[in-house]
Amino acid sequence: MMMMEGVALKFPPLKLFNPNFPTSPATTVTPSLARFALRSFSSSSSSCSASLPISATAGKEADSALGTLSLGHLTRPDFPILHQEVNGSKLVYLDNAATSQKPHQVLKALQSYYAGYNSNVHRGIHYLSAKATDQYELARKKVADFINAEESQEIVFTRNATEAINLVAYSWGISNLKPGDEVLLTVAEHHSAIVPWQLVAQRTGAVLRFVDLDENEVPEVEKLRESISRKTKLVVVHHVSNVLASFLPIKHIARWVHDVGGKILVDACQSVPHIVVDVQELDADFLVASSHKMCGPTGIGFLYAKSDILSAMPPFLGGGEMISDVFLDHSTYADPPSRFEAGTPAIGEAIGLGAAIDYLQGIGMQKIHDYETELANYLYESLSTIPNVRIYGPRPSEKVKRAALCSFNVEDVHPTDLATLLDQQHGVAIRSGHHCAQPLHRYLGVNASARASLHFYNTKDDVDDFINALSETVSFLNSFK
CB of 481 to another protein, least distance (A): 7
CB of 183 to another protein, least distance (A): 9
Residues 210-229 that bind another protein (CB under 8 A): 210-212, 220, 223-224, 227
Span from 26-34, 40-48, 92-100, 443-451 in contact with another protein (CB under 8 A): 443-451
Q: Does residue 198 bind another protein (CB under 8 A)?
A: yes
3-state helix, strand, coil in the chain (%, to 5): 45, 15, 40
Q: Does residue 476 bind another protein (CB under 8 A)?
A: yes
Q: Does residue 373 bind another protein (CB under 8 A)?
A: no
269, 295, 406, 436: the catalytic one is 436
Cα 236 from Cα 266, distance rounded (Å): 6
Q: Does residue 58 bind another protein (CB under 8 A)?
A: no
CB nearer another protein, residue 321 or residue 423: 423
Binding mask 330-369 for another protein (x = CB under 8 A): ----------------------------------------
Residues in the chain: 481
Are 410 and 476 in contact, with CB atoms under 8 Å apart? no
- Among residues 30, 68, 420, 471, which is the contact residue for another protein, using CB under 8 A? 420
Cα 85 from Cα 423, distance rounded (Å): 11
- Among residues 138, 199, 317, 386, which is the contact residue for another protein, using CB under 8 A? 199
- Among residues 13, 19, 80, 205, which is the contact residue for another protein, using CB under 8 A? 205
Q: Does residue 187 bind another protein (CB under 8 A)?
A: yes
Cα 66 from Cα 82, distance rounded (Å): 22
436 is catalytic: yes
Cα 301 from Cα 293, distance rounded (Å): 9
Cα 226 from Cα 182, distance rounded (Å): 13
Please, what sign has the CA dihedral across residues 355, 359, 364, 367?
Answer: negative
Q: Does residue 423 bind another protein (CB under 8 A)?
A: yes
φ and ψ at 445, to 5 degrees? Answer: 85, 25
Q: Does residue 470 bind another protein (CB under 8 A)?
A: no
Report the 3 state secondary structure along 352-383.
Answer: HHHHHHHHHHHHCHHHHHHHHHHHHHHHHHHH
Element (H, E) at 185: strand 182-186
Q: Which residues bind another protein (CB under 8 A)?
A: 86-88, 179, 187, 198-199, 201-203, 205-212, 220, 223-224, 227, 413-414, 416-417, 420-421, 423-425, 432-433, 443, 447-448, 476-477, 479-481
